Amino acid sequence: MNTSNIPVLIIGAGPTGLMAAAQLERFGISYRIIEKRKGTTKFSKALGVQARTMEIYEQMGLVEKAIAQGTPAKKLQIMVKGQYVQTMPLSEAGAGFTAFPYLFILEQSRNEELLLDYIEAKGGRVEFQTEMTSFEVKGNQTRVGIQHADGSLETIQADWVIAADGGRSPVRKALNIPFKGDTYKNIFYVVDTDVAWSKDHHSLHINLADNNFTAFFPIIDKKGTRYRLVGILPEHYSEKKDIEFDDIKNEIKRVQNLDLELGDANWFSIYKVHHRCIDRFKEGAVFFAGDSAHVHSPAGGQGMNTGLQDAYNLVWKLALVVQGKAKESLLDSYHTERWVIANQLVNTTDRVFSNVVRKGRLINWFRLNIVPFLISRLMGVKKIQQRAFKMVSQTGIRYSNSPIAVSATYLSKKAPHPGDRLPYVKVFDSTTGELKNLYHLLGEQGFHAVFWWRNNDKTEIQDAAVIETYLKENYTTVVQTHNLYDQTENSSAFQKLDLKNSTLYLVRPDNYIGYIGKVDDLDALKAYLELIFI
């Protein structure tokens, strides 16, 4: 049997594994990725691509391809028994927070293809029809047995393993790691079908009915009639085997009191929803990412996006460690940062979802009569609208508890703090003379030291020059420097960031703020860099 030694092995090529591989390609790290399926998924599965994922796609140069294949959902329309009671504009709530103020609809199958194309264009390869058959950890060594499509066996010894092997994760099972949580009693159906009705195809529609609901997500197609429907399977079908869409079609119309015609099923499936999370995202040299680490209800369209962002958060850290530039302790921040997010997500979706599916006359009355009214009142308040957008779009995710989020200066409540995503601001680009999204100005990779200049204090400028020289001499391959001045074109950025004094941001490769300090405080900056780099 063949034995190979490699730095990184990814197990599973769903969206999470593919994102991990794509990021490793970006950072030029050698790896292998194995997947037991023949290719990417043929099913639409996850549909909602959140704004934060679009920002990542943009950084990877993929966003235009994504936009060409999908459609933004700009409104959420709520119906009660077929009658509209509330319309929520998604784009207004997100305006100013991101370049993508909407929920983007693009099937999981297309997201997977997008990432696979990226990997292949960079010269990488996914080893399809290759299954992990055994997994053991001995001391510092991880030995993974795999079987190729032709039946041949191989053992891979990997320094690091990314377990992106889905909700049933064989790696998690091999390591005996509990997947704590529960399974909801209800059975759900999901179907992709044509809907003949008079409603707008660029909106999400949710219809609330007696002890049930149907969500309609638009899917892009030539006729503009295709939707993904999700709802609760009528109870009397729960024991029935081999249910088909035709069995429940009329029932959906009747229970939901909807005036529509449903076409044939392009994809139909029934499933139970789980809400579970592991306690540790890192176990020695093994990282869990995506559904192998957390599963929850598809309500809110968070699952695929969270997996993509797990991989995105992990890989820049892993790349620096594999390249021998960063300390191994940097990798612990993957668990600290992502576990909190996943755990919160599992709990929040559980609370919302339990109330949506709970049975009973009182709760049913409350859902149909009070909830739409409450949503309407709450969403009328701009601040609440914005908060909801930030939460659902994942642009509001903060890593405040991270060991690599450090502040060395006073920051107002309004100002962003270390551990926050770098806010979406436009700044003056002196090379083109135009206003530019700061993310674009920072460019593709690495850390960025951004000096925000509030005044022309000569001593500060001299001391900052010492910092620039220090960075050039010691961190030239990992930190780039940028200077931004308080001129008219930048006034809205300075206001948004509440910059009262000249300030230095150290922005991480994932566009999160790692450090904020004074522009002339070399000691504090040194201490921060020594926390991360060798």
Task: List contacts with ligand FAD (CB under 6 A).
Answer: 11-17, 34-37, 45-48, 108, 131-132, 164-166, 170, 190, 271, 290-291, 298, 301-305, 307
Taking the complex as a whole, the smallest distance from the CB of residue 329 to ligand FAD amounts, in Å, to 26
Which residue carries 């995202």 as its tokens? 281
By beta-carbon proximity to ligand FAD, the closer residue of 148 and 496 is 148
CB 490 within 8 A of CB 496: no
CB of 95 to ligand FAD, least distance (A): 23
Q: What share of the chain is helix, strand, coil (3-state, %, to 5)?
A: 35, 30, 35
Distant-in-sequence, close-in-space partners of 118: CB < 8 Å, separation ≥ 6: 22, 25, 60, 62
What is the C-alpha to C-alpha distance for residues 218 and 201, in angstroms, rounded to an integer? 6
In 394-490, which residue ranges form alpha helices assigned H by DSSP?
A: 438-442, 458-475
* Least distance from ligand FAD to the Cβ atom of residue 195, Å: 17
Indicate the DSSP class of residue 533: B
Contact 249, 262 (CB under 8 A): yes
Question: Which residue, 119 or 524, has its beta carbon nearer to ligand FAD?
Answer: 119
Q: Please identify, using beta-carbon distances, which residue of 346 and 442 lies nearer to ligand FAD.
A: 346
Q: Sheet containing 447-453: give its strands across.
A: 406-407, 513-518, 503-507, 447-453, 479-485
Cα separation of 232 and 185, whole Å? 11
Q: Which residues pair with 137 in a beta bridge?
A: 142
Please identify, using beta-carbon distances, which residue of 16 and 490 lies nearer to ligand FAD. Answer: 16
Measured from the CB atom, the residue of 115 and 478 that comes closer to ligand FAD is 115
Task: Name which of 8 and 493 has its Cβ closer to ligand FAD.
Answer: 8
Q: Which residues contact 421 (CB under 8 A, 6 or more apart)?
A: 52, 395, 396, 397, 398, 511, 512, 513
Rounded to the nearest whole angstrom, what is the least distance from the CB of residue 13 to ligand FAD in the complex? 6
Least separation in angstroms between CB 198 and ligand FAD = 25
Q: Which is nearer to ligand FAD, 307 or 509 (CB)?
A: 307
What is the H or E stretch that residue 266 is in?
strand 261-277
CB of 248 to ligand FAD, least distance (A): 16
CB 48 within 8 A of CB 105: yes
Closest distance to ligand FAD from the beta carbon of 511 (Å): 20
